[in-house]
Structure 1
Amino acid sequence: MGIVSQDALNQLQALIDQVEEPLQKTFQNVHQGYVPETLIRFLKAREWNASKAHKMLIESLNWRVQNEIDKILSKPIIPQDLYRGVRDSQLIGLSGYSREGLPVFAIGVGLSTFDKASVHYYVQSHIQINEYRDRVILPSASKKHGRPITTCVKVLDMTGLKLSALNQIKLLTIISSIDDLNYPEKTNTYYIVNAPYIFAGCWKVVKPLLQERTRKKVQVLQGCGRDELLKIMDYAALPHFCRKEGSGSSKHSGSGSENCYSLDHPFHQELYNYIKEQSRMNESKEPIKQGSFHVEFPEPATKEEADIAKTIESELHKFENSRENVDC
Structure 2
Amino acid sequence: MGAVSHEAINQLKTLMDQVDGRLKRTFQNVHQGYKAETLERFLKARDGSVAKAHKMLLDSLKWRLENGIDDILSKPIVPTNFYRGVRDSQLIGVSGYTREGLPVFAIGVGLSTFDKASVQYYVQSHIQINEYRDRVILPAATKKTGRYVGKCVKILDMSGLKLSALNQIKLLTAISTIDDLNYPEKTITYYIVNVPYVFSACWKVVKPLLHERTRLKVQVLQGSGRDELLKIMDYSALPHFCQRDGSRSSRRGVNTTEDCFSLDHPFHQQLYNYMKKQSGNCAPTRPLKHGSVHVEMPLADIKKAEICRTLESELKRFHSQDDLTRLHDIQISD
> For the superposition of Structure 1 and Structure 2, which TM-score range results when normalised by the shorter chain?
over 0.9
Look up the match of 1:325: 324
Take 1:218 and 1:285, find their aligned partners in 2: how far apart are those partners? 47
Take 2:237 and 2:142, find their aligned partners in 1: how far apart are those partners? 18
Matched AA of 2:313: S
Take 1:239 and 1:5, find their aligned partners in 2: how far apart are those partners? 37
SS at match of 2:250: coil
Take 2:2 and 2:38, find their aligned partners in 1: how far apart are those partners? 14
Provide Cα deviations, 1:78-106, integer angstroms capped at 9, x if missing partner. 11111000000000000000011100000
Matched AA of 2:171: L
Matched AA of 1:248: S
The reply to whether residue 260 of structure 1 matches residue 260 of structure 2 is yes
Take 2:157 and 2:175, find their aligned partners in 1: how far apart are those partners? 17
Mean Cα deviation higher: 280-289 or 206-215 = 280-289
Q: How many residues align?
A: 326
Alpha-carbon shift at residue 322 of structure 1 (Å): 1.5
Take 1:283 and 1:58, find their aligned partners in 2: how far apart are those partners? 29
Superposed, 1:250-289 pairs within 5 Å as 250-251=251-252, 253-284=253-284, 288-289=288-289
Take 2:65 and 2:48, find their aligned partners in 1: how far apart are those partners? 25
Q: Which runs of 5+ in 2 are unaligned?
A: 329-334
Provide Cα deviations, 1:212-234, integer angstroms capped at 9, x if missing partner. 11000000000000000000000
Superposed, 1:110-189 pairs within 5 Å as 110-189=110-189
Take 2:57 and 2:97, find their aligned partners in 1: how far apart are those partners? 28
Matched AA of 2:91: L
The reply to whether residue 249 of structure 1 matches residue 250 of structure 2 is yes
Matched AA of 1:326: T
Take 2:98 and 2:224, find their aligned partners in 1: how far apart are those partners? 17
SS at match of 1:106: strand
Look up the match of 1:11: 11
Q: Is the 8 A contact 1:90 1:112 kept in 2?
A: yes
Matched AA of 1:306: A
Look up the match of 2:331: none
SS at match of 1:143: helix
Provide Cα deviations, 1:103-128, integer angstroms capped at 9, x if missing partner. 00000000000000000000000000
Matched AA of 1:323: D
The reply to whether residue 231 of structure 1 matches residue 231 of structure 2 is yes
Alpha-carbon shift at residue 248 of structure 1 (Å): 2.5
Alpha-carbon shift at residue 286 of structure 1 (Å): 5.8
Look up the match of 2:59: 59
Take 1:39 and 1:117, find their aligned partners in 2: how far apart are those partners? 35
Look up the match of 1:312: 311
Matched AA of 1:315: E
Alpha-carbon shift at residue 285 of structure 1 (Å): 7.7
Look up the match of 1:197: 197
Alpha-carbon shift at residue 2 of structure 1 (Å): 6.0
Q: Is the 8 A contact 2:93 2:268 kept in 1?
A: yes
Provide Cα deviations, 1:11-70, integer angstroms capped at 9, x if missing partner. 111111111110100000000011111001000000000000000000000000000000
RMSD: 1.2
Alpha-carbon shift at residue 237 of structure 1 (Å): 0.3
Look up the match of 1:39: 39
Q: TM-score normalized by structure 2?
A: 0.95
Mean Cα deviation higher: 307-316 or 263-272 = 307-316
Superposed, 1:207-226 pairs within 5 Å as 207-226=207-226
Q: Is the 8 A contact 2:202 2:311 kept in 1?
A: yes
Q: Which runs of 5+ in 1 are unaligned?
A: none
Alpha-carbon shift at residue 284 of structure 1 (Å): 3.9
Look up the match of 2:332: none
Q: Is the 8 A contact 1:108 1:249 kept in 2?
A: no
Superposed, 1:280-299 pairs within 5 Å as 280-284=280-284, 288-299=288-299
Take 2:72 and 2:250, find their aligned partners in 1: how far apart are those partners? 30
Take 1:24 and 1:115, find their aligned partners in 2: how far apart are those partners? 38
Q: Is the 8 A contact 1:166 1:316 kept in 2?
A: yes
Q: Is the 8 A contact 1:240 1:254 kept in 2?
A: no
Take 1:12 and 1:240, find their aligned partners in 2: how far apart are those partners? 42
- The 1:84–1:291 alpha-carbon spacing in structure 2 relative to 1, beyond 3 Å, is same
SS at match of 1:291: coil
Q: Is the 8 A contact 2:4 2:44 kept in 1?
A: no
In percent, how many aligned pairs have the same letter? 68
Take 1:19 and 1:143, find their aligned partners in 2: how far apart are those partners? 29
Look up the match of 1:93: 93
Take 2:297 and 2:311, find their aligned partners in 1: how far apart are those partners? 21
Q: Is the 8 A contact 2:26 2:64 kept in 1?
A: yes
Q: Is the 8 A contact 2:78 2:288 kept in 1?
A: no
Alpha-carbon shift at residue 325 of structure 1 (Å): 2.3
SS at match of 2:156: strand
Q: Is the 8 A contact 2:104 2:155 kept in 1?
A: yes
Matched AA of 2:251: S
Alpha-carbon shift at residue 283 of structure 1 (Å): 1.3
